Amino acid sequence: MNEKTDDIILAFESSADETSAAVVKNGNTILSNVVATQIASHQRFGGIVPEVASRHHLEWINRVTEEALTKAGINDPERQLSAVAATYGPGLVGSLLVGLMAGKTFAMVHHLPFIAVNHLAGHISAANFVKATVYPALAIMVSGGHTELLWMEKENTFQIIGTTLDDAAGEAFDKVGRILGLKYPAGKEIQEMAGHGKAVIKFPIAHTEDDFDFSFSGLKSSVLNYVHHHEQVSEEFNRNDVAASFQKAVVEAITEKSRLAIEKFQPKQLLLGGGVAANLALRTAFENLSKEYKIELTEAPIKLSGDNAAMIGAAAYLNYKQRLFAPLDLNVDPSLNFARM
């Protein structure tokens, strides 16, 4: 018997507009992480067109898979790999289907167990590449599709403490980007403009009924009103100041809700992940929060903040340890989410 000392997982991610395959060792070491992005395609339309996204995923799935295997030195998957994983939700149904079918087929043909991964658990698990998490932990997941405060009592358990009632944080960035005439996705450019501006405009932070929930659509509307008003009366305004003030409002909303959660639940660890976690103002705010409460913070590396399969491999490993395998008839679940606490 060939005893495997390491557990190596091949993971797939295709929930939105990135096609990715990665090979991850023991849930914390990346052997390869290949990502093909479709941003240039969807920029033509000002946002993701789901049918176009699915077509691109299919065009790229084999190339991405083969490159991930080659880079990781996998030439005999059946012997070298312990399992195959894929994101099964949440996300766009047609996009998810390509990665899920690829993962299930790969597992079947090489007689390997299959692991179905929740995309949000993937974003949070990106922190495992930095260091092991101490529990209980409070995870903050901010991306184009999600804004969640999650409670992790122990490893691989997730409960929603708070979530967005309307737009996700990243979505708000993109919508404000459109108001300012920026290209999709607008997060990076808004961050850059904010660096050249001053947060002098008072945009309101919405107060939601439930203490821990978010709402960003009101903030977006007040940015829209501000810009429209100034344009209508042909009054000059500083676009960098708008960016800085908007960014400050988003960061404040997220950190304030997190502060409330820290005080109520007393976590031993903070985790920050998701595409918006690449925002430097947000990172700084959480670094300060971590110092203030003397709670260790693990941030997903900026390179692993956006969608990628390595984070899916990290999350899959937690399932692998518990032998949580999925059958070949598992379907995608576009609106998959965790339960409320």
Partner 1 sequence: MKILAFDTSGSTLNVGIFDSTTGLFFAHNHEHDLARTHSMKILPAISELMRKAAWDYKDLDRIVVTAGPGSFTGLRIGATVAKILASQLSCDLVAVSTLFAISDSIKLTAGQLKVPLINARNHNVFAAAYDQQGKVVVSEKHWVFSKLLKQLPKNSCFVFEEGSGDEFKNEIKDNAFKFVEQKSNRLIDPKVLAKSALFLPVIDPDHFVPNYLRKTAAEMNWEAKHPEAKDGEYSKYVSEV
Q: Is position 178 an interface residue for partner 1 (rule: CB under 8 A)? A: no
End-to-end alpha-carbon separation of the chain, Å? 45
Q: Does 80 bind partner 1 (CB under 8 A)?
A: no
Number of residues that bind partner 1 (CB under 8 A): 45
Q: Which does 307 bind (CB under 5 to 8 A by kind): partner 1, Zn ion, none?
A: Zn ion
**Closest C-alpha to 98, from 10, 12, 9, 11:** 12
Binding of partner 1 at residue 333 (CB under 8 A)? no
Distances (CA, A) of 73 to 76, 82, 136: 9, 15, 36
49 binds partner 1 (CB under 8 A): yes
Residue with smaller CB distance to partner 1, 13 or 213: 13
The verdict on 51 binding partner 1 (CB under 8 A) reads yes
Determine which residue in the list 34, 141, 253, 297 makes contact with partner 1, applying CB under 8 A.
34
Compose the 111-130 pattern: x for residues touching partner 1 by CB under 8 A, - for all others.
Answer: --------------------
b/e map of 193-222 (b: 16 or more CB within 10 Å)?
A: bbeebebebebebbebeeebbbbbebbbeb
Nearer to Zn ion, 81 or 142 (CB): 142
**3-class DSSP state of 135:** coil
Q: Is 46 left (phi over 0), alpha (psi -120 to 50) or beta?
A: left
Q: Is the peptide bond before 113 cis (omega within 30 degrees of 0)?
A: no
Shortest reach from residue 133's CB to partner 1, in Å: 26
Kindly tell me which residue out of 32, 54, 245, 305 binds partner 1, with binding defined by CB under 8 A: 54
Our CB check for partner 1 shows the closer of 45 and 237 to be 45
Nearer to partner 1 (CB atom), residue 119 or residue 248: 119
**Residue 113 or 218 with smaller CB distance to partner 1:** 113
Q: What CA–CA distance (Å, rounded) separates 112 from 146?
A: 32
Helix ranges (DSSP H) in the chain: 39-43, 50-71, 77-80, 93-109, 119-125, 169-179, 187-195, 217-232, 239-265, 280-293, 309-321
Residue nearer to partner 1 on the CB measure, 90 or 197: 90
Count CB neighbours of 83 within 10 A. Answer: 22
Does 185 sit behind a cis peptide bond, omega within 30 degrees of 0 on the bond before it? yes
* Residue 143, binding choice from partner 1, Zn ion, none, Cβ under 5 to 8 Å by partner class: Zn ion
Residues that bind Zn ion (CB under 5 A): 143, 307
Q: Is 332 in the site for partner 1 (CB under 8 A)?
A: yes
Query: Minimum distance between the CB of residue 267 and Zn ion, rounded to whole angstroms?
Result: 22
Whole-number Å distance between alpha carbons of 178 and 46? 8
Cβ nearer to partner 1, comparing 29 with 41: 41
Given a contact cutoff of 8 angstroms between Cβ atoms, the answer to whether 214 and 254 are in contact is yes
Residues in contact with partner 1 by the rule CB under 8 A? 19, 34-38, 40-41, 44-45, 49, 51-52, 54-56, 58-66, 77, 93-94, 97-98, 100-102, 104-106, 108-110, 327-332
